[in-house]
Amino acid sequence: MDRILIRGGNKLSGRIPISGAKNSALTLMPCALLTDEPLTLRNLPRLADVDGFGHLLNQLGASTAIEGSRPEDFGRVMTIRAGQLTSTEAPYDIVRKMRASILVLGPILARAGEARVSLPGGCAIGNRPIDLHLKALEALGAELEMTAGYVTARAPGGRLAGGRFRFPVVSVGATENALMAAATAKGSSRLENAAREPEIVDLCRMLVAMGASIDGIGTETLEIEGRERLHGATYAVMPDRIEAGSYACAAAITGGSVELVGADAAAMGATLSALADAGVVVELRKGSIGVTAPERLQPLTLSTAPFPGFATDMQAQFMAMLTRADGASMLTETIFENRYMHVPELARMGADISVAGRSAVVRGMDRLTGAPVMATDLRASMSLIIAGLAAEGETAVSRVYHLDRGYERLEEKLQAVGADIERVGD
């Protein structure tokens, strides 16, 4: 199994290209199931999760073709053709590896009138039930049954009727599933208290490009007028706001200065605001964002929240960065109840972090020390990389397959801006 070795102490300096967003790509890909015409996605990141989702689409009868792909390129162009679904079942052996697989439930049901999907897997960062996915689909007319670890859904008469649903709490995945299902329902649908994340906006825009009728894009109330069919489209995946924020934290903890090429500031408001509060100089440029570290990082008080609040997917990276702040920071995790698994690993590197329930106090240190550490989930993995970049000596990060799920060619990007980092096999 591969490990990543980091010899810390180098200031990051230079340009880092930001890839297409993982969380958007995994939402756009299942839209191909809603039409018998080709869907072409540009700026698709090279990630294990994207490859895994492609295999799942193949299992359902869709073909996936990579166009003009070269090893030295970042991003890919993929055309997905689901002319005819050969299966309406997403099996356990594929779905268990990736939670985003549940996003095929709505499109399969909308297209075929029935679907059988295994309960999903993914990062072990806490309880993430799919009850809101199911309740939203029921509100649109689906009949559901759960047996032996599978969800079986049927649309009476072969097509969803549409309906109204108010999410009791904001759920990104459930909003996405309901949107895709409602796009071809017989009637109109209204989703209230819907998630407003940039990835939701990206999904809405692509569905509209495929012929869907959606009002209220970017708001908490989405109104969808069902279409009998959708057509193919060509669409570019939005830049990854979490990747961009992660590299910003890496530059800040090393005292460096980087340009995040292709980053979208409009999708990163809370992250950029938090960086500025920590003393980081943030410069918005045409097509990029400049990030320059201060002489000493300032402590922060942060609480995760649905968009436009501070993203839970940035919590671990900020925690790593704040281990070098001048004072104590308070982080509160409101989204997932088990997202501090990186804390013991950071402590192995000398970090002073205490956890009480959903809150963590991070006391800034003058130095971190390299150590062998183990990644526990995707964003926790990146927090260890960030800490390692600033630590004295060598840090060895194991279980890096988590990183491969969400960061495209991470070592190459960091090497290009001065990091002493490499991937080695055991």
| Residues β-bridged to residue 355 | 360
CB 37 within 8 A of CB 186: no
What DSSP designation does 11 have?
A: P
Binding-site residues sit at 22-23, 99, 128-132, 313, 335
SS (H, E, C) 234-246: EEECCECHHHHHH
DSSP bridge partners of 394: 7
Q: What are phi and psi of 12, to 5 degrees?
A: -80, 135
Closest to 183 (Cα-Cα) out of 158, 204, 166? 204
Instruction: State how far the Cα of 79 lies from the Cα of 40, in Å rounded to an integer.
Output: 4
Binding residues for phosphoenolpyruvate, as ranges, are 22-23
Residue 387 phi/psi, 5° resolution? -60, -40
Rounded Cα distance between 119 and 162, Å, is 24
Rounded to whole angstroms, how far apart are CA atoms 151 and 127?
18
Which H/E stretch holds residue 56?
helix 48-59
One DSSP character per residue, 152-194 reads EEE-GGGS----EEE-SS--HHHHHHHHHHHTT-SSEEEEES-
The reply to whether 249 belongs to the active site is no
At residue 191, φ and ψ (nearest 5 deg) are -110, 120
Distance CA 253, CA 34 (A): 44
* Diameter over CA atoms, the chain: 66
Residue 114, Cβ neighbours under 10 Å: how many?
Answer: 16
Closest CA to 362 of 326, 388, 391: 326
φ and ψ of 283, to 5 deg: -120, 115
**5: Cβ–Cβ under 8 A, 6 or more apart, which residues?**
394, 395, 396, 397, 421, 422, 423, 424
DSSP 377-426: SHHHHHHHHHHHHHSBSEEEEE-THHHHTT-TTHHHHHHTTT--EEEEE-
Report how many helices (DSSP H) and strands (DSSP E) the chain contains, helices first: 14, 24
Question: Which residues have a catalytic role annotated?
Answer: 123
